Amino acid sequence: MSPLSARAQGVAIAGASTLLGKELKQVLEDRNFPATDISLLDEDVAAGILTEAGGEPAFIQQVTADSFEKARFVFFTGSEKFTQAHYEKALSSGAIVIDLSGGLPANARSFGWIASLDRVLPPPSVSPAPAEKRALYTSPGSGVIIGATVAAALKDFQPTRVAILFLPPVSEAGQPGVDELVAQTTNLLSFRAIERSVFDSQVAFNLLPEFGEERKPSMHSIREGIAEGIAYYLADRTITPAVQLIQAPVFYGYSFAVYADFATAPSYLNMEAAFRTLEVHIQEKDEAAPDIISAAGQSEIQLARIEADPKVGSSVWLWGVADNLRLSATNAVRIAEELLVVPA
């Protein structure tokens, strides 16, 4: 067996102990991704943790010089610092890198991709290399995927204004964010002082327009990153939504509200059909409106029926939710699935 055939569908998850790393592994299994081998890698502090891969016991290992040698695909799901320290090793080994961490430096010139939008908005390419020569890909975060999907679905209706209010969960900050919300909730109910090491603010039983001064990155930086990511992907091919962020006291599930204005009132049935074309699930007549509970474990964005504003006849409101971890992981795996047709 040649070296290329031996690594044909090998996969490495770099950041395997994180919430996103665990979800990515689950998505690979649920979608029956044809991985011949899955390597679980992470920072030294997580090395030695016992887990499973493909139904078999597996240990998370630290990254070494030959960690990526058998991998055709390397998914980075850990911290930005961890990605920056190791992505070049993966590239040097001949692997295709798919980053979910947001940690690639600007000069890496990665190829951002939202696979579900290909038929409407193919990804903007910053790489002069043909597809079969690219090796560095970015799978955007949930906020960018949702914002770009909304804009793509509304494109043919020519909106004059689109605004999106995101309510992200604490799991966007990883396991430390989840742990802090648990601790804050428990302590508040017990009338004890709360922990603030992650958000530097009270998240439990609260809505936050901004974090405390010690929190990095700030809410402003996160919002700007989402807005810039959406604008980059749209590349002036349709209107770019205005973006606002409010931190919600929920563990998982990205909620969002959209306001869109049009010169003339659009057909709501046609608009819902446009969303379905982009693999968005629209609430059926016999279904309750989607919420973060019903969205858990779902790979698609969940959208309530589109409603007109009663006072502004040419505008609409949309309410939607998505499993933030599942949405991000599914997009990354779909990138790899698309690349399976490219010779190893």
Please indicate, yes or no, whether residues 158 and 287 belong to a single structural domain of this protein.
yes
Residue 129 has pLDDT above 70, yes or no: no
Q: In what order do the strands lie in the sheet with 73-76?
A: 61-62, 37-42, 10-14, 73-76, 96-99, 136-138, 111-112
Give the CATH number of the domain where residue 81 resides. 3.40.50.720
Please indicate, yes or no, whether residues 235 and 280 belong to a single structural domain of this protein.
yes
CA separation for the pair 317, 307 (Å, rounded): 5
**Bond from prior residue into 217 cis (ω within 30 degrees of 0):** yes
pLDDT on residue 46: 61
Please indicate, yes or no, whether residues 312 and 193 belong to a single structural domain of this protein.
yes
58 occurs within a structural domain: yes
Residue 267 has pLDDT above 70, yes or no: yes
Residue 340: pLDDT band with limits 50, 70, 90: confident
Give the CATH number of the domain where residue 223 resides. 3.30.360.10
pLDDT on residue 56: 55
Residue 177 has pLDDT above 60, yes or no: yes
- Residues 317, 319, 320, CA angle at the centre, nearest 5°? 145
Residues spanned by the domain of 296: 144-324
Residue 53 has pLDDT above 70, yes or no: no
Q: Are 35 and 54 in contact, with CB atoms under 8 Å apart? A: yes
Residue 182: pLDDT band with limits 50, 70, 90: very high
pTM score of the predicted model: 0.91
Please indicate, yes or no, whether residues 156 and 303 belong to a single structural domain of this protein.
yes
Please indicate, yes or no, whether residues 170 and 319 belong to a single structural domain of this protein.
yes
195 occurs within a structural domain: yes
344 occurs within a structural domain: no
DSSP state for residue 343 in the 8-state scheme: -
Q: Helices in 12-159 by DSSP H: which ranges?
A: 19-30, 80-92, 142-154
Residue 157: pLDDT band with limits 50, 70, 90: very high
Please give the tally of structural domains in the chain. 2
List, for residues 274-317, the tens digit of each pLDDT value.
Answer: 999 999 999 988 889 999 999 999 999 999 999 988 888 899 99
- Write down the residue that tokens 């279904």 correspond to: 287
Please indicate, yes or no, whether residues 179 and 287 belong to a single structural domain of this protein.
yes
pLDDT on residue 286: 86
Token digits of residue 324? 């933030």
Please indicate, yes or no, whether residues 114 and 222 belong to a single structural domain of this protein.
no
Please indicate, yes or no, whether residues 192 and 269 belong to a single structural domain of this protein.
yes
Average per-residue pLDDT for the chain: 89
CA separation for the pair 173, 181 (Å, rounded): 11
Strand locations in 122-253 (E): 136-138, 159-167, 242-245
**For a pLDDT cut of 90, what percent of the chain falls above it?**
74
Please indicate, yes or no, whether residues 166 and 119 belong to a single structural domain of this protein.
no
Please indicate, yes or no, whether residues 319 and 298 belong to a single structural domain of this protein.
yes
Please indicate, yes or no, whether residues 318 and 292 belong to a single structural domain of this protein.
yes
